[in-house]
Amino acid sequence: MTTNEDAIRATAVAAKQAGGKLARLGPERRSALLRALAEALRDPRHRQAIFAANAADLERARAEGVASPLVKRLGLDAGKLDGVCDGLDQLAAMPDLVGGVTLRRELDEGLVLERVTCPLGLLGVVFESRPDALVQIVGLAWKSGNAVLLKGGREALGTNRALSQIVGQVLSGAGLDPRAAVLLEGREEVNAVLGLHGLVEVIVARGSSEFVRHIQQSSQIPVMGHAAGVCHLYVHAAADPAMAARLAVDGKTTYPAACNATETLLWDAGAGAALDACLAALQKAGVEIRGDAATRARAPGIKAAGDEDFGFEFGANVIAIKQVDGLDGALVHIAAHGSKHTEAIVTEDAAAAERFLAEVDAAGVYHNASTRFADGYRYGLGAEVGISTDKLHARGPVGIDGLLTYRWLLRGHGQETAAYGPGKRAFRHRDLP
């Protein structure tokens, strides 16, 4: 009797084989595939089906009481889809990294070692809510020559089905097995994938911290976690008030549900004028402000912040504000409450900025820039499979290079290791162009 686990394993095996063919296509055909997907997603007929499916998903999510930040991420309109298509075009135009020689070294005459990039193989990507992520992930997988098993959130199933159908049509139209990108739909299928150690090379988990921890604890497969983003904007004593206000509003309001949104604003006692500018701008933008005692002393009408408001990802138009004891206090607070995602300082003091950049332990650390810049598309990566707060293999927005590994290739003429060593033949170890 065939079990669901057997069926998923068979699907994964087929996907990996399809991915191998994708990796061998060569740069020009992989780029053509990306451009074909962008063209298909610009087709008005396809868009009509995508938007209809998304409208149904949104209606069902609201009826079922899905949390507001998730509903916000669930929406897929023409603007978002245009951005996704632009990202695919950007990916297609980028240099191909598969098969790149990153090191070439002559160990001895006629014995040459190369380090060559290659795809990871089969990716398992589990993500919540955002259906546009499906296309971004597929695009990065194709560019890096990887096959991918995709599992989106239940709330986005209709939209993901519509997008996945188009992805399959593009693969088939190019003479490729559509199983190079497979959409999984049930929770039991995800559990089965988590058990495919040795077949699935890496799991990318995008969602809440609890969700990512669950995935990490449920599999022996390496997990690249894209979890909560508790991002801080630190307003230093030497901050320009107008700049601080602009960055606070941009970081909080342009997409409050995003993981790179600013959740906490920290300020120096000497930054009162900059804080006042930030408070006025945030209030004008309709942001709910929760402040500590020092902040409420300057703005008595705002809500009081509790300890639970610091280190919390609101995912909404809410921000927590706290006074800190200079740069040292800001560094201590961020170390205790940050999520190692993205942190920013606003200051005209170059020395303070350089210390902040050097000492903050996060995937992204910014000077005089909005935390919202933490994004694969904005970094010029084309897109991202997630923003990793881990330190091994990939960190920050994970683009093509984060989906590649490498092999060591050695070409010789019958050399033996016994010929080398003290008193014997010496290695040259000469790096080559």
Domain ranges of the chain: 4-227+389-407, 231-373
Are 50 and 81 in contact, with CB atoms under 8 Å apart?
yes
Helices (H), 218-325: 241-253, 272-284, 293-298
CATH architecture label of 231-373:
3-Layer(aba) Sandwich (3.40)
Distance between CA atoms of residues 183 and 178, nearest Å: 10
The token duo for 37 is 């997907």
CATH architecture label of 4-227+389-407:
3-Layer(aba) Sandwich (3.40)
Are 271 and 256 in contact, with CB atoms under 8 Å apart?
no
Instruction: Taking the CA atoms of 178, 180, 186 and 192 in sequence, report the sign of the dihedral they define.
Output: positive
> To the nearest 10°, the Cα dihedral for 199, 205, 209, 213?
0
What are the pLDDT tens digits along the chain (433 aa)? 345 778 888 989 999 998 889 989 999 999 999 999 999 999 999 999 999 999 999 999 999 988 887 788 899 999 999 999 999 999 999 999 999 999 999 999 999 999 999 999 999 998 877 899 999 999 999 999 999 999 988 899 999 999 999 999 999 999 999 999 999 987 788 888 888 988 999 998 887 777 788 888 888 998 887 767 899 999 999 999 999 999 999 999 999 988 999 999 999 999 999 999 999 999 999 999 999 999 999 999 999 999 999 999 998 999 999 999 999 999 999 999 999 999 999 999 999 999 999 999 999 999 999 999 999 888 888 778 888 887 777 888 888 889 999 999 999 999 999 999 999 999 999 999 9
For 113, residues 6+ apart whose C-beta sits below 8 A from its C-beta are 103, 104, 105, 106, 107, 408, 409, 410
pLDDT given at position 69: 76
List, in sequence order, every residue forming a beta bridge with 288; answer none if it has no partner: 318
pLDDT given at position 2: 43
Q: Sort residue 392 into left (φ over 0), alpha (ψ -120 to 50) or beta.
A: beta
DSSP for 137-192 reads HHHHHHHTT-EEEEE--GGGHHHHHHHHHHHHHHHHHTT--GGGEEEE-SHHHHHH
**Backbone φ, ψ for residue 259 (5° rounding):** -70, -15
The token duo for 250 is 């941009």
The token duo for 381 is 């990566």
Distance between CA atoms of residues 145 and 26, nearest Å: 9
